[in-house]
């Protein structure tokens, strides 16, 4: 098969690879669509210790089952050749303390498809049957491939708690920021402010119901406080992950409010801890999604309640390296890039 291999920092090439073998508890999937994730951009740059070249990345995907292991029917009887599926790429053991609590994304033995093992930037990928979900009738692999990032947004919404009638802030209008905006709105948020430097991405946030804030023109924190009578928001979400955006979230959150850290741009940064203590602000990290969040994300997509269109770009897999460069340098009017294998 053909696969897009990340071989070194800012270096990706199409190569011939052996088609994956299929263990008893796995399925072989012919990839229909596979998305480029923000975490993979840092890996592509060589800034992510989780990913080591040479590697087939790609963990946001959907495709057609073309082979099943001998034990698959006992794991999920719905999986059969010809079925369209998406896959939760976060493998979990089902046995550790966190798995027993339903927090499968925090499994002590977790492994990410596309990092710890070959991913979906290829014509085919093998994946554990227990992680696969059959797409609802009529759903395309284009839509199904969005399940993973929507799952991240569902988890953010879960951690935000009851936002009904409340004001919220999201900093960063990348895919996760745009999806979290929609989840918070679906969960009843009164107003969701969204701050973003890129004018075209900010326009996407506004089109999806957010109240836009352009940090080049105004002070993000002051704008939020002016709009909320000096209070600040009940929930803030940092979907960037820089020292500056983390600090802004603290400052824009009202006393006893919650800030959710999702962006991973910087591994570490200083935080205004004294301010957080004095105003009793709760900080929560949001990593991935539970298996229940993943299933809920697929359901939201099936109900057409969440979207990234009309700003999705489809491109052939062999152009993947070019799109990584574009997304790093100037993403512009693109919410998500979906790569399609060159069959």
Task: State whether 127 and 164 are in the same domain.
Answer: no
* pLDDT the model gives residue 330: 83
Q: What is the pTM of this model?
A: 0.96
199 and 270 in a common domain: yes
CATH number at residue 281: 3.40.50.720
Q: What is the pLDDT of residue 343?
A: 64
241 and 203 both lie in a single domain: yes
Banded pLDDT at 103 (limits 50, 70, 90): very high
Q: Is the pLDDT of residue 195 over 70?
A: yes
Q: Are 233 and 273 contained in the same domain?
A: yes
What mean pLDDT value characterizes the chain?
96
Examine residue 170 and state whether it is found in any structural domain, yes or no.
Answer: yes
Compute CA distances 51 → 27, 28, 116, 300, 337, whole Å. Answer: 24, 23, 7, 30, 20
Is 151 within the bounds of a domain?
Answer: no
Domain count for the chain? 2
Helix (H) or strand (E) holding 6: strand 2-8
On the question of pLDDT at 100 being above 80, the answer is yes
179 to 21, 73, 170, 185: CA distances (angstroms): 35, 34, 10, 10
pLDDT value of position 48: 76
Rounded to an integer, the average pLDDT of 8-36 is 96
Q: What whole-number distance in Å separates Cα of residue 32 and Cα of residue 44?
A: 22
Contact 337, 35 (CB under 8 A): yes
- Same domain assignment for residues 112 and 137: yes
Based on the domain organization, do 136 and 161 belong to the same domain? no
For 88, the 3-state DSSP assignment is coil
Residue 302 domain-assigned? Answer: no
Residue whose token pair is 């999702």: 262
Q: Measuring CA to CA, which residue among 58, 41, 49, 83 is closest to residue 5?
A: 58
For residues 173 and 224, membership in a common domain is answered with yes
Reported as a pLDDT band with limits 50, 70 and 90, residue 268 is confident
193 and 237 both lie in a single domain? yes
Q: What is the percent of the chain where pLDDT is above 70? A: 100
* Contact in structure between 198 and 332 (CB atoms under 8 Å): yes
Mean pLDDT of the region 318-330? 93
Round to whole Å and give the CA distance between 289 and 297. 10
Which CATH number goes with the domain that contains 37? 3.90.180.10
pLDDT score of 267 more than 90:
no
pLDDT interval class at 89 (50, 70, 90): very high
Domain that holds residue 82: 2-146+308-340
CA–CA separation, 262 vs 312, rounded Å?
A: 22
Q: Are residues 128 and 165 in the same domain?
A: no
Residue 56 shares a structural domain with residue 165: no
Q: Which residues pair with 201 in a beta bridge?
A: none
74 part of a folded domain: yes
Which is more confident, 46 or 338? 338
Q: Answer yes or no: is 193 within a domain.
A: yes
Spell out the long-range contacts of 302-311 with Cβ–Cβ below 8 A and sequence spacing 24 or more.
Answer: 302/136, 302/139, 305/182, 305/186, 306/150, 306/153, 306/179, 306/182, 306/183, 306/186, 307/182, 307/208, 308/146, 308/175, 308/178, 308/179, 308/335, 308/336, 309/335, 311/204, 311/335, 311/336
What is the pLDDT at residue 184? 98
Name which residue leads in pLDDT, 330 or 235: 235
Q: What is the pLDDT of residues 153-181, one digit of tens each?
A: 999 999 999 999 999 999 999 999 999 99
Domain presence at residue 171: yes
Note the pLDDT tens digit of each residue in 35-65. 999 889 988 998 877 899 999 999 999 999 9
Is residue 137 domain-shared with residue 160, that is, in the same domain? no
């Amino acid at each position: 098969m053909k696969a897009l291999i990340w071989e070194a920092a800012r270096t990706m090439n199409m190569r011939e690879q052996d088609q994956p073998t299929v263990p008893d508890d796995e399925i072989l999937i012919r990839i229909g669509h596979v998305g480029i994730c923000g975490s993979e951009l840092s890996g592509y740059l060589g800034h992510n210790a989780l990913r080591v070249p040479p590697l087939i990345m790609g963990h946001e995907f959907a495709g057609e089952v073309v082979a099943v292991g001998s034990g698959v029917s006992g794991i999920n009887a719905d999986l059969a050749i010809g079925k369209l599926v998406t896959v939760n790429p976060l493998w979990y053991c089902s046995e550790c303390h966190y798995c027993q609590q339903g927090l499968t994304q925090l499994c002590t033995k977790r492994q990410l498809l596309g990092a710890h093992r070959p991913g979906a930037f290829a014509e085919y990928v093998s994946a554990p049957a227990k992680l696969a979900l059959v797409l609802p009738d009529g759903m395309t692999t284009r839509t199904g491939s969005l399940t993973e990032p929507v799952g991240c947004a569902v988890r953010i919404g879960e951690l935000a708690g009851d936002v009904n009638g409340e004001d919220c802030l999201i900093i960063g209008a990348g895919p996760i920021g745009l999806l979290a905006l929609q989840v918070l709105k679906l969960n009843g948020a009164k107003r969701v402010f969204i701050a973003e430097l890129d004018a075209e991405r900010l326009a996407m946030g506004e089109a999806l119901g957010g109240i836009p804030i352009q940090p080049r023109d105004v002070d993000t924190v002051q704008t939020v406080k002016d709009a909320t009578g000096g209070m600040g928001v009940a929930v803030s979400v940092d979907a960037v992950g820089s020292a500056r955006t983390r600090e802004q979230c603290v400052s824009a959150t009202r006393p006893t409010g919650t800030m959710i850290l999702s962006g991973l741009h910087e591994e570490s940064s200083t935080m205004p801890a004294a301010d957080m203590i004095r105003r009793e602000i709760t900080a929560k990290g949001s990593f991935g999604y539970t298996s229940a969040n993943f299933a809920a994300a697929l359901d939201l997509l099936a109900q057409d309640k969440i979207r990234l269109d009309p700003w999705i770009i489809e491109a052939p897999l062999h152009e993947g390296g070019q799109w990584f460069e574009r997304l790093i340098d100037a993403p512009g009017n693109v919410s998500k890039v979906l790569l399609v294998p060159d069959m």
